[in-house]
Chain A
């Protein structure tokens, strides 16, 4: 008999234990359904955002790769377009046979506000080695028609069908406000689905047609090369250095797609972080449900322990229940995520198109990895949040039948430890935020630690809140009010979790709300001093914040000499290579008015404005300075038409137009170093005696026949800018709402478990003469009080979060300095939101408890 204690100790519960567990879950369908819903919504949000982000990335990569074809390298000019003479030199002079000229750009189809398509100009005779879709020699393409026709274009059948075009159809392509009629000669022939996706938004034409459509005579975007062997690359590098102009350089083909990937990195990461918030709130919900199920079954678990069930079996039993809930929730969540992703992808694409580059997403990129990640995240977070209740379950005493009050007394005894844990987490969060440098992911972990610190302090604060509310509610509602307030403190193990979940969701809303409002106010202020002129003119661009289109010299002359225009200055946006990276270069003419000192973050100790005109001095935007660690006095190597030249940084200026950063140069220096006489925009001052609106109308009439231009008054441009700003935060708003939905489900679950536990107490009250109306009032008062406590707690928590979002996350993601604006309305909304969520969540439990049969409840005990 010595081996009685040495039987193998099974970790997983047996068949009967699992059956018992399943029956328990079936007896509480609503609670389990709500938990599944909580996990499902959390997972949906994460999967939805992940799919939207990855779909945008994949669509862009596919389109880039399809356009790049089999090219391994490309010759580009650091200062803008490349001259097509260079192509001749490469092909004939250098003897490189596998080279193809490319002119790329964007156009709007049919009208100046129509959908944006990508244009690709190629030489079909040279292109066969690079891209198969355009046919090439030996393919089915009518080369004569393609090269000979002055307006022939090709597109994929799906693209043609989207625009309602057939072979032979003519339509207009609008570039920089100028229209060019083209004819659909033939359809592209994608070799597979992947290529079809890559071609989805592409119009292909002969290089000469592209130069005509884009008004870029003699210009190329790049020259594609095939250099499969390292020795080829070495030879080519040497040839470029020896034989080609200084502004031409050799780049790897994939460099372009990775550069553009980096552009949206911070944007994508912030969306992912926001989406994880919903999952964190969902974890509180699971924790609450599983704690409830454990507390309710403590005596049952004690009995099982008495019968010889080990702690480990109990632990796995609870965990297996969570696995079931998490598994079902995660599966539903992944399916919901796909549906949500279809909605979010539109919003994400819109933002990318507004801020970064043109991308069109035909369909969601349903990668198995993204779906598996969602499943793992859902199940993992469920299991993680179940570990504390599962451990609690293993501590069920075998020799006594515990009641919840003993659990409550233990929670009360744990308060000091919880408070210290909160302090520890807050310190840890602070250290992570302080020590994470520019790492945004670690910064978010720091913020999560601070959120959890708040959750640890919640029980003590809930207890304090219930004590403060007791006399107030007692004074107004008598015994019912006192009971409602005391009930919160007495059922701390339930109420604190519900309040914590609601507080986190509402404070996140408040935090993001304050951040967005602060951001908006900062941008508004910046627009006020940046937009000094009365009227702004630019060609219709494809990306709102990065307009490098050009105004024709004719239109420029008409505008500058128009009646009512007393002065004007131009802006040119170009993409040049600065310190080996493609960078936006903003070229400005001197402005008539003095610039506000608040425009600058840092300036040199000399007159930088004068220096920018007289020598090679530039300014960099705050995000550029942050991304590259650039300071006043540093030097930047800018590739100009005259080769690379060093420019000194004379100032760092505030700029909220682009998080990618920009370099600013005066027109006089630009004209010396670049062969580009064009302007991208004009700012016009109107004589005080004239009405701005009248001048705008006159300018529109005067330029209509020359070039289609966006001519907007200061007020209209400012409004349009803020509209784009608001649009970029639409996804954030959707995510905030979803986090609140999860929190609402959490509160509902918590309230239901609370009321289920109070069945007997309420039955005794009913037996002693309490009416259903009084029961309803007690329950409602209690839940509304919990909402009030959550709302009040969410204010300081929300302000801390907003401060961190503004001064840590925003700063580290984009390098912007924002003002910290606290709008009392947002704080008031937080309290109202928490109250409303609690009130709504109380409807069903209140109704259910007031209808419950007192005799049944008493008998059930």
Chain B
């Protein structure tokens, strides 16, 4: 079986004044369909940069990112955006909901961007909201929701257009323990019941326990590590 994502020799450096700082120093990895991968690393280790490269939000300095048959590094900014729109779902630590859209509209947005938006699609959005337990709040605006509720909406939004890869950047980082548990339950269901492929940057021990594999990003290098080691580090 060929991998869903194949990353090879990925490098990313930033120029700050006269100095150049290399954040990713030749990363390579493969992710298979249906896997839950956890990405560990200290703050500033380049986890978000790595996720940005995979989602096409940012372009690497060099290296290759092959998503199924598509070579992301060969795409223009617009092509990468269109790729992201269809293939990727993103869950942010700070939720990043659109404040001027209702909960249902936030979930419907990726569907509409992917070219749909009919009555059936609206039903789909409501169904996804039901899955995250927020069907009754679909008419509310994000500022009326608690942090946990906002993150559940963000998860629903990331799932709504049925992306092939879900990227999550510290999805429970801004939540209290009880709410984090609730979000965890949803993620667990997604992985094991729905066979989704996920790459999660996190320090959350509960998520690590769910992972199929754990990658460690350290000083710009990516290595695979055991869950036990990962749990010890977190």
**In the complex, what's the smallest C-beta–C-beta distance from A536 to chain B, in angstroms?**
72
Closest A-chain residue to B113, C-beta based?
A308
Any chain B CB within 8 A of the CB of A6?
A: yes
In the bound complex, residues from chain B placing their C-beta under 8 Å from that of A2 are 68-70
In the bound complex, residues from chain A placing their C-beta under 8 Å from that of B99 are 300
> Do residues A306 and B90 form an inter-chain contact, with CB atoms below 8 A?
yes
Q: How far is the CA of A216 from the CA of B178 in the complex (A)?
A: 107
The count of residues in chain A whose C-beta lies closer than 8 Å to any C-beta of chain B is 32
> Do residues A399 and B48 form an inter-chain contact, with CB atoms below 8 A?
yes
Any chain B CB within 8 A of the CB of A557?
A: no
In the bound complex, residues from chain A placing their C-beta under 8 Å from that of B164 are 1
For chain A, residues 391 to 419, give those with C-beta under 8 angstroms from any C-beta of chain B.
398-399, 401
Any chain B CB within 8 A of the CB of A15?
A: yes
Any chain A CB within 8 A of the CB of B112?
A: yes
Any chain B CB within 8 A of the CB of A9?
A: yes
Closest B-chain residue to A310, C-beta based?
B81
> Do residues A399 and B58 form an inter-chain contact, with CB atoms below 8 A?
yes
> Do residues B100 and A310 form an inter-chain contact, with CB atoms below 8 A?
no
Closest B-chain residue to A20, C-beta based?
B100
Q: How far is the CA of A273 from the CA of B110 in the complex (A)?
A: 49
Q: How far is the CA of A1 from the CA of B5 in the complex (A)?
A: 12
**In the complex, what's the smallest C-beta–C-beta distance from A13 to chain B, in angstroms?**
10
Q: How far is the CA of A303 from the CA of B109 in the complex (A)?
A: 12
Closest A-chain residue to B161, C-beta based?
A308
> Do residues A303 and B112 form an inter-chain contact, with CB atoms below 8 A?
no
Any chain A CB within 8 A of the CB of B86?
A: yes
Any chain B CB within 8 A of the CB of A5?
A: yes
Q: How far is the CA of A9 from the CA of B108 in the complex (A)?
A: 19
Given contacts A16-B112, A27-B100, contact A308 B86 (CB under 8 A): yes
Q: How far is the CA of A310 from the CA of B77 in the complex (A)?
A: 8
> Do residues A310 and B78 form an inter-chain contact, with CB atoms below 8 A?
yes
> Do residues A4 and B101 form an inter-chain contact, with CB atoms below 8 A?
no
Contact with A5, one of B48, B57, B82, B98 (Cβ below 8 angstroms): B82
Any chain A CB within 8 A of the CB of B67?
A: yes
Any chain A CB within 8 A of the CB of B149?
A: no
Q: How many A-B residue pairs have CB under 8 A?
A: 107
> Do residues B87 and A307 form an inter-chain contact, with CB atoms below 8 A?
no
Q: How far is the CA of A311 from the CA of B55 in the complex (A)?
A: 16
> Do residues A23 and B110 form an inter-chain contact, with CB atoms below 8 A?
no
Any chain B CB within 8 A of the CB of A821?
A: no
Contact with A9, one of B78, B96, B100 (Cβ below 8 angstroms): B78
Closest B-chain residue to A304, C-beta based?
B98
Q: How far is the CA of A312 from the CA of B57 in the complex (A)?
A: 15
In the bound complex, residues from chain A placing their C-beta under 8 Å from that of B147 are none
In the bound complex, residues from chain B placing their C-beta under 8 Å from that of A398 are 52, 57-58
Any chain B CB within 8 A of the CB of A7?
A: yes
> Do residues B110 and A307 form an inter-chain contact, with CB atoms below 8 A?
yes
> Do residues B57 and A4 form an inter-chain contact, with CB atoms below 8 A?
no
Any chain A CB within 8 A of the CB of B94?
A: yes
In the bound complex, residues from chain B placing their C-beta under 8 Å from that of A310 are 78, 81-82
Q: Mark A195-226, 1 if CB is under 8 A from B, else 0.
A: 00000000000000000000000000000000
Closest B-chain residue to A23, C-beta based?
B100
Closest A-chain residue to B143, C-beta based?
A860
> Do residues B112 and A15 form an inter-chain contact, with CB atoms below 8 A?
yes
Q: Which 5 A-B pairs have the closest CB atoms?
A: A308-B85, A1-B68, A5-B79, A23-B100, A20-B100
**9 intermolecular pairs with C-beta atoms under 8 Å apart:** A1-B69, A1-B70, A1-B87, A6-B82, A19-B105, A299-B96, A305-B81, A307-B84, A307-B109
User: Given A305-B81, A307-B110, A307-B157, list of 6 further CB < 8 A pairs?
Assistant: A7-B82, A16-B109, A19-B100, A303-B96, A308-B85, A310-B78
